[in-house]
Amino acid sequence: MVVVGAVIGGLTNSLAIMMLFRPYKPLYLGKRQIPFTPGLIPKRRSELAEQMGKIVVNHLLTPESIKRKFINGDFQKEAENLAKKEFARLLNTEKTPAELLGKLGFEDGKAKAEEQLDAFIEKKYETLMDKYRHKPLKEVLAPELLAKAESRIPVISEYIAQKGEDYFSSIEGKMRIQRLVDDFVKGRSGVLGNMLQMVMGNVNLADKIQPEIIKFLRSEGTQDMIAALLQKEWMKVLDWEAARIEEQFERKNIIKSIKLYVRKIIKADDLMDTPLSKLAEPFTETLVEKAVPGLVGMAGEWLSNRMDIIMERLHLADIIKQQVESFSVERLEEMVLSISRRELKMITYLGALLGGIIGLLQGFLVLFI
């Protein structure tokens, strides 16, 4: 009776475990469905999938658990090392910015870059003009720039005097003086004109005037006078409002000049055709060692602060439910057995043990009663 009880107990538990999964489909006797078909898991697969999704979201993969992971020091270190490695690999590529933009869907990368640069310049110009349009230039320009401009006035005055001297020392300058003298004499008809002709005789006035003009331009007093005039006019300009500058030179011309100057400095065409590794070479170490850790920290903090919203928008419970429902019953059985095969065997053995004990007790009862 012990053996019979053990066999019955073991087979009963084994059959119960098997009925969790099988049969996979309902069986019919005629038109009537046989009870307990299909098995429990195939029959309740939809409910099982839904409950698994809820369990994972509500108890396992919660926003709080993910936040703790983000602020974990080891995780942050791993994320930082991975980001450094990938960012360094990106910076060391031989691809050009134009090629990388092409991969992102921007076929004409150069034109797009120029458009973005032009748009940035125009936007920045309007922002600054809105702020400073009705302020005098002395309040708009930086003190360092004002000091540098003022320090250039003596240099400019010397340059003007030098260019004047060069011009009047030339044949062209002498001819200009001659024409001016001739025009002056012709314009003074009558007694004054006759007197000038009598006094000078056949002497060329240009030969007399040219050395005096050159002497005048070479004198320190002349340069000081030019510098004083420039200083006076510069002070007047500093009192102009920025709007007056815009009106004098026209907005479109100012923006056009700024764009040309910026393009000349940046050389966008050359940059777009230069390998990224060459462009980033002077900054690679700084970017990888300083910028990346900061960006990783900012990204981690941003994700952590918005994890509740992100989890809600992802609808993880629905994703898990759909994924489980897409599994075949055979795969579900394999998954459960791969996790709990040992425990299910122990349940079968326990059934056999209990059956044997019950058979033993029954044997004693039969013998002694």
pLDDT, tens digit, for every residue of 281-302? Answer: 887 888 888 888 888 888 888 8
Q: What is the pLDDT of residue 357?
A: 85
Q: Which residue has the higher pLDDT, 61 or 192?
A: 61
Q: What is the pLDDT of residue 195?
A: 59
**What is the C-alpha separation between 139 and 289, in angstroms, rounded?**
40
pLDDT at 194 over 60: no
- 223-249 pLDDT, tens digit each: 889 999 999 999 998 899 888 888 888
Q: What is the pLDDT of residue 230?
A: 92
pLDDT at 184 over 60: yes
Percent with pLDDT over 70 in the chain:
92
> Buried (b) or exposed (e) across 19-57, using 16+ Cβ within 10 A?
eebbeeeeeeeeeeeeeebbbebbeebeebbbebbeebb
Mean of the per-residue pLDDT values of the chain: 82
- 53-92 pLDDT, tens digit each: 888 888 888 888 888 888 888 888 899 999 989 888 888 8
Phi, psi of 241 (to 5 degrees): -80, 155
Average pLDDT score over residue span 114-143: 87
Q: CB atoms < 10 A from the CB of 156, how many?
A: 14
Average pLDDT score over residue span 159-167: 91
Average pLDDT score over residue span 136-164: 89
pLDDT at 193 over 70: no
Q: Which residue has the higher pLDDT, 85 or 100?
A: 85
The highest-confidence range among 40-54, 152-166, 266-280, 320-334, by mean pLDDT, is 152-166
pLDDT at 202 over 50: no
Q: What is the pLDDT of residue 229?
A: 93
* Entry pTM: 0.49
**What is the C-alpha separation between 236 and 135, in angstroms, rounded?**
14
Q: What is the pLDDT of residue 340?
A: 80
Average pLDDT score over residue span 198-205: 55
